[in-house]
Amino acid sequence: MRRALPVLIFVAWIAAPAGAADVRRVEVLGVAPVDANRASRSSARDVALRRALQGAVWRVAVEQLDTAGATAEDAAIAGALGNDPLVYATRFQIVEDRGERPALFSDDPEIENEYVVLAEVHVDINRVRKRLSSAGLMSLPAGDVGYFRTRVTLVDIRSWAELQAVRTLLGEIGAQSAVPVDLVRGRAVLAVESRHSPAALVSALIAAAPPELRLEPLGAGPDGLELRARFLESSGSSQPARASRFDTSGPEGY
């Protein structure tokens, strides 16, 4: 359990949407009971943070239903949103770690202590609304065309810059989001929401790519596509030529 929180924070840093999104910033408390009988209490902080994320998403969902003049039972909202708040949280951070303290928010008299964090969560409103709409809890405005969900697999990755360049291009061609869902050395999978079908997405990416970035499509199916991205070496230099918008200088490495 000790490693759960660092992984969660890493996902928050890389999961910012590639394109412009309608995002709501929410500050919310996350509270988790601390079981005195457990050998380790470190997981309580992780649970408190996750509950803060869930609370932020819930708040945005209720706001959207109210705005649309719709009502729904709590169980129906929970069923529509699912159990993973990271689907909607584009980024987040703990603003205040209040730590373990006597129980104040718990209704269970057996709980003596709880762990409390105050988190800042940025929630993608469009994703929340689409989930609520798919569950029949609200209607999307006329003209709000549905998005394709495409898994974009990048293979033979040699540097972090190649992954970031593809995400930048996805934003430039209007992708609503491009969230890394699987990262291993040499391979990355992006969950992309856009108005392009998989085949159209490949064409749009290739058309938008600058001369110094070569995109090689390796296959496309109904739900996903696979490609290779390479920075081309500039003439007379062993270093790849990179446009300014692909500048990835900094400590991050693949």
**Total domains, the chain:** 2
Same domain, 155 and 110: no
| pLDDT recorded at residue 110 | 67
pLDDT of the residue at 64: 87
Q: Say if residue 113 is in the same domain as residue 173.
A: no
Per-residue pLDDT, averaged over 120-143, amounts to 81
CATH number, domain at 203?
3.30.70
Q: Calculate mean pLDDT across residues 134-162.
A: 78
Cα 70 to Cα 79, 125, 126, 216, distances in angstroms: 16, 16, 16, 46
In a domain, 142, yes or no: no
Domain boundary among 103, 134, 165: 134
Helix (H, G, I), strand (E, B) or coil at 245: helix
The range of the structural domain enclosing residue 156 comes to 148-246
* Per-residue confidence band for 11, with pLDDT thresholds at 50, 70 and 90: very low
Q: Do 126 and 134 contact (CB within 8 A), yes or no?
A: no
Report the percentage of the chain scoring pLDDT > 70: 74
| Mean model confidence pLDDT for the chain | 76
Q: Cβ–Cβ contacts within 10 Å for residue 131, how many?
A: 21
Q: What is the pLDDT of residues 61-81, one digit of tens each?
A: 999 888 878 888 889 899 989
219 burial type by CB count under 10 A (0-12 exposed, 13-18 middle, 19+ buried): exposed
How far is the C-alpha of 151 from the C-alpha of 190, rounded, in Å? Answer: 6
Residue 36, in any domain of the structure: yes
In-domain check, residue 139: no
User: For residue 24, is pLDDT > 90?
Assistant: no
Predicted pLDDT at 125? 86
Do 84 and 20 lie in a common domain? yes
Q: How many other CB atoms sit within 10 Å of the CB of residue 170?
A: 27
**Mean predicted confidence (pLDDT) in 206-215:** 90
pLDDT for the residue numbered 118: 92
- 177-184 sheet: strands from edge to edge: 177-184, 187-194, 148-155, 224-231, 213-220
pLDDT at 251 over 80: no
**127 pairs with which residues across the strands?**
none
More confident residue, 175 or 16: 175
130 and 9 inside one domain: yes
User: How high is the pLDDT of residue 243?
Assistant: 42
pTM: 0.51
